[in-house]
Amino acid sequence: MNDESGRDSGRIRIRVMDYFAQQFINGVSLGAIYGLIAIGYTMVYGIIGMINFAHGEIYMIGAFIALMAVVAFGISEGGLVVLALLSALLVSMALTSLYGWVLERVAYRPLRGTQRLAALISAIGMSIALQNYVQLTQGARVKTLPPIIRGGFEFQFGNTEFIVRLSTLQILIVVVTLALMAIFALLIAKTALGRAQRACQQDQSMAALLGVNVDRTISLTFVMGAALASVAGLMVTLYYGVIDFFVGFIAGVKAFTAAVLGGIGSIPGAMLGGLLIGLTEAMWSGYFSIEYKDVATFSILVIVLIFLPTGILGTPEVEKV
């Protein structure tokens, strides 16, 4: 009897490990998606110091356009899935970027230099308007997409019946995210655009004096953020297979949390923050309760802001008096 219970607890221990590994994999995939959205928040906040409240909606629009493109290109299993997915990605990035550009042009640029609150209110207004625009034109019901990319790896540790799954899609999500991260990091470190962005971040009027086109730089920042959000949109559509007009709100808040957690203004920070938020959410749902997973995220936001206001990778700053 003793022997048996010993074996049981051993099995349970392995199962505990398996379960953890599974939640870890899920958390990383989710975190990659949050990270991609968070980059948009962090870049915009870094450059004009405002929370682009409508960024979550841009992501939602990206997801819709991506789903439409996927359907339009008639992607089913087999065939040139990769090629078709790539075209869907490009179409969605292009259109969503245009949304980002117009958003800044119409709702934020005229308010630059007035009260901070005015731009934030305008952003909230835009968020409400875009949500309802999509609801009105596409209906309130969820849109579904059956899985396109199947397959993956299965692991089994020991002689348990619990199987840890790592799907191709999850690998794809992480790989694409890492690739995009690398491209953007290079873009910002090496190109004139990146230099202009950093200049505007430090001091806009000084940058303008030195010949940086501030308006264009800010526009491009919005375009880049929107493009990344649309990638996240496509991946969420593939991953979960359901979207609706409301997905932008909560994802937006979480991605913003990720940006703050990583250190606002820092792109690697946004990725790191995204990963941590994704992991927290997966672990919390796995071990505690799914219902309260959003509460867990918000609590992290509050705790981070109180004890670590500059985030993990942000630069500490003494308020200049």
Partner 1 sequence: MNSPHAASLRDAALVAGIAGILAFPFVGLLLTTEGTAPTLSTRFPEFAGAVVVIFFGRLGISAARRGHGLLPLVLGLAMAAGGAFSLVVEATGLGASGTAIWHAFVPGTFLSTVACAGGIAIAGLAGRNYLMQGRQPAERTPLPMGQLLLWLGIALAGFAILLPLLPGVDRRLIDVATLVLTYVMLGWGLNIVVGLAGLLDLGYVAFYAVGAYSYALLSVTFGWSFWVCLPVAGALAALFGILLGFPVLRLRGDYLAIVTLGFGEMIRIILLNWYDFTNGPDGITNIGRPSFFGLPFASKPEQGTESFHTFFGVAYDPVHRLIFMYYLILALAFVTNAFTLRIRRLPIGRAWEALREDEIACRSLGVNPRNTKLSAFAIGAMFAGFAGSFFATRQGFVSPESFTFIESAILVAIVVLGGMGSQIGVAVAAIILVGLPEYFRELQEYRMLAFGMGMVLIMLWRPGGLLTHREPTIRTRPAPA
Partner 2 sequence: MNPPTLLSVEHLTMRFGGLIAVDDVSFSVEQGAIHALIGPNGAGKTTVFNCLTGFYKPTVGRITLHSPESRTPFLLEQMDDYRIVREAKVVRTFQNIRTFPKMSVLENLMVAQHNHLMRASGWTFLGLIGAPSFRHAEAESVERAEYWIGRTGLAEYADTEAGALPYGEQRRLEIARAMCCDPVLLCLDEPAAGLNPSETEELSELIGYIRDHHHISVLLIEHDMSMVMGVSDHIVVLDYGQKIAEGAPETVRNDPAVVQAYLGSDDEDEAGESEDTTS
Ligand X SMILES: Nc1ncnc2c1ncn2[C@@H]1O[C@H](COP(=O)(O)OP(=O)(O)O)[C@@H](O)[C@H]1O
Contact residues for ligand X, defined by CB under 6 A: 318, 320
When the beta carbons of 3 and 317 are compared against partner 2, the nearer one is: 317
When the beta carbons of 4 and 141 are compared against partner 1, the nearer one is: 141
Quick one: what does residue 256 bind among ligand X, partner 1, partner 2, none, with the CB cut-off 5 to 8 Å set by partner type?
A: partner 1
DSSP 309: T
Query: How many residues of this chain bind partner 2 (CB under 8 A)?
Result: 3
What distance in Å separates the CA atoms of residue 226 and residue 99, rounded to the nearest whole number? 8
What distance in Å separates the CA atoms of residue 82 and residue 67, rounded to the nearest whole number? 15
Please give the C-alpha separations between residue 226 and each of 110, 120, 122, 265, in angstroms, as whole numbers: 20, 18, 18, 16
- Asked if 215 interacts with partner 1 (CB under 8 A), we say no
- Asked if 117 interacts with partner 2 (CB under 8 A), we say no
Nearest to 117 by CA among 28, 193, 36, 51: 51
Instruction: Give the helix/strand (H/E) hosting 242.
Output: strand 242-243
Quick one: what does residue 141 bind among partner 1, ligand X, partner 2, none, with the CB cut-off 5 to 8 Å set by partner type?
A: partner 1
Tokens standing for 294?
Answer: 């959003």
Amino acid in position 217 = T
Quick one: what does residue 71 bind among ligand X, partner 1, partner 2, none, with the CB cut-off 5 to 8 Å set by partner type?
A: partner 1
Q: Which stretch binds partner 1 (CB under 8 A): 26-34, 82-90, 92-100, 173-181?
A: 92-100
- DSSP characters for 114-168? S-HHHHHHHHHHHHHHHHHHHHHHH-SSPEE----S--EEEE--TT-S--EEEEH
- Asked if 321 interacts with partner 2 (CB under 8 A), we say yes
Quick one: what does residue 98 bind among partner 1, ligand X, partner 2, none, with the CB cut-off 5 to 8 Å set by partner type?
A: partner 1
Quick one: what does residue 128 bind among ligand X, partner 2, partner 1, none, with the CB cut-off 5 to 8 Å set by partner type?
A: partner 1
When the beta carbons of 141 and 320 are compared against ligand X, the nearer one is: 320
When the beta carbons of 61 and 282 are compared against partner 1, the nearer one is: 61
CB of 321 to partner 2, least distance (A): 5
Q: Which stretch binds partner 1 (CB under 8 A): 20-28, 64-72, 223-231, 269-277?
A: 64-72
- Asked if 79 interacts with partner 1 (CB under 8 A), we say no
Tokens standing for 96?
Answer: 């969503």
Helix (H, G, I), strand (E, B) or coil at 244: coil
Cβ neighbours for 201, distance < 8 A, ≥ 6 positions apart: 46, 47, 265
Of 1, 192, 306, 318, the residue at the interface with partner 2 (CB under 8 A) is 318
What distance in Å separates the CA atoms of residue 164 and residue 224, rounded to the nearest whole number? 36
Nearest to 70 by CA among 50, 89, 44, 53: 89
- Asked if 192 interacts with partner 2 (CB under 8 A), we say no
Q: Which stretch binds partner 1 (CB under 8 A): 30-38, 177-185, 186-194, 254-262?
A: 254-262
Interface ranges with partner 2 (CB under 8 A): 318-319, 321
